[in-house]
Amino acid sequence: MTEEAFLRILMIAPTPYFSDRGCHVRIYEEARALTKLGHEVCIVTYHLGRDMPGVRVVRSPRIPWYNKLEAGPSWHKPYLDILLLWKVLSEVRSFRPHLIHAHLHEGALIGSFVKLLHGIPLLFDYQGSLSGESLNHGFFSEKSLLMKLFKVIEQFINNRAEFIVTSSESGQQDLIGEWGISPKKVFNLIDGVDTDIFRPYPRSAARHALDIPEDSKLIVYLGLLNRYQGVDLLMDVIVRIKSQNPGIHFLLMGFPDEEYRRKAEGMGIKDEITFTGRVNYDSAPIYLSAGDIAVSPKLALTEANGKLFNYMACGLPTIVFDNQINREILGEDGIYVEHGNAALLAETLLSTIHNSARMNSLSKSVRERAIRMHSWSARAQLLVSCYRTMLVSSQDTNL
């Protein structure tokens, strides 16, 4: 295969793709950017979700009683993944891919069976620890037998692929240091953003659509609504801010939102919050443009934080907890707060949102950083280099 030859890439996505959340955005943006470079991509995924333009999607058989769109583990996963494996094997025969690009640990496990049966090289797109994510979602306790079992399974899966790309430097270090994966097999390919789609839109139009007054100070959040994303902590922050500066409003975009609507009412802050529920990918940059500043209080330390790229591309000054993943993305253009400190987060949000000069400066710098450092077109070229390195190595091994 020549350097210029196009590739047929079969992506395995064991998730209800597309459901307007971070993991799905990475899958879509990778596939679309690869397609723009002239490669052919087919995504094989669950029966749930919606198709996105420009990329072929094949779905496993419909299961009428399974409708979960939210992230996190489920006892339904084993049989869903068996059905997905069946669909992947069927697609391999007709699509004849040069390689398998597997997302998440379940995808890599399915990909390992395909590799065993058909000898197709496997790349694993690692977006966080399997056992760590299950622990974050409260699926089991840290010292339980299930935790030990998941770690054994995770170790097995991590060793199946020829190559692993991670979405953060922290993930790369975790694979090498904790799981013993060879540094030659791991490459850090952090998320990116399409800066033509995610860009600043007129604020007045976005606020009008959301029925938010033009003159209010608005703090925005976009992403899943759950505890490990820091949303419970953010609710405490809103209580603190209301007591100090009742004129500030919050726009919380994402799902599942029913529980947090009830919590907001119980905490006396429902009038300070506009909940949107799930926001379509195409609407996200318009809604983000309504904000003055963005916040990501994510507590999980083993996963990427893809929403930051969208914040940056829309020119939003961004406040996050101080950790390696967030600094890797935002660099000197982020505003950092001690991890998990709700009082300091509230104080920093207040001091920043009332500092117009700093806000204007950060708005320009984060947008410029997104364009300069985080475009998906550049990421896709790096990914193709990984593919070609893996394919050459695989050919040499088979000689």
Q: Is 32's pLDDT higher than 60?
A: yes
Q: Is 398's pLDDT higher than 90?
A: no
Return the pLDDT at 399. Answer: 47
Q: What percent of the chain has pLDDT over 90?
A: 80
Contacts of 28 by beta carbon, 8 Å cutoff, 6+ apart:
17, 18, 52, 55, 281
Q: Is 389's pLDDT higher than 70?
A: yes
Q: What angle do CA 113, 124, 145 make, to 5 degrees?
A: 75
Q: Is 296's pLDDT higher than 50?
A: yes
Return the pLDDT at 76. Answer: 86
Paired tokens of 67: 């409708």
pLDDT tens-digit map of 43-63:
999 999 999 999 999 999 999
Q: How far apart are CA 178 and CA 123, in angstroms?
A: 20
Return the pLDDT at 4. Answer: 62
How many Cβ atoms sit within 10 Å of the Cβ of residue 64?
A: 6
Q: What is the CA radius of gyration of the chain?
A: 21
Alpha helices in 96-218 (DSSP H): 104-118, 130-136, 145-158, 169-177, 203-210
Range scoring the smallest mean pLDDT among 135-144, 219-228, 264-273, 307-316: 135-144
Return the pLDDT at 134. Answer: 65
How is residue 71 annotated by DSSP?
S
Average pLDDT, the chain: 92
pLDDT band at 294 (very low <50, low <70, confident <90, very high): very high
Cβ atoms of 189 and 136 closer than 8 Å: no
Cβ atoms of 48 and 36 closer than 8 Å: no
167 or 111: which carries more pLDDT confidence? 111
How is residue 11 annotated by DSSP?
E
How many Cβ atoms sit within 10 Å of the Cβ of residue 115?
A: 20
Return the pLDDT at 136. Answer: 64
Concatenated DSSP letters for 148-169? HHHHHHHHHHHTT-SEEEESSH
What does the pLDDT average to over 139-167? 87
Q: Is 397's pLDDT higher than 90?
A: no
pLDDT tens-digit map of 106-144:
999 999 999 999 999 999 999 888 776 666 666 666 778
Q: What percent of the chain has pLDDT over 70?
A: 94
Q: Is 2's pLDDT higher than 80?
A: no
**Could you identify the residue written with the tokens 């660099």?**
331
Return the pLDDT at 145. Answer: 86
pLDDT tens-digit map of 229-252:
999 999 999 999 999 988 899 999
What does the pLDDT average to over 291-296? 98
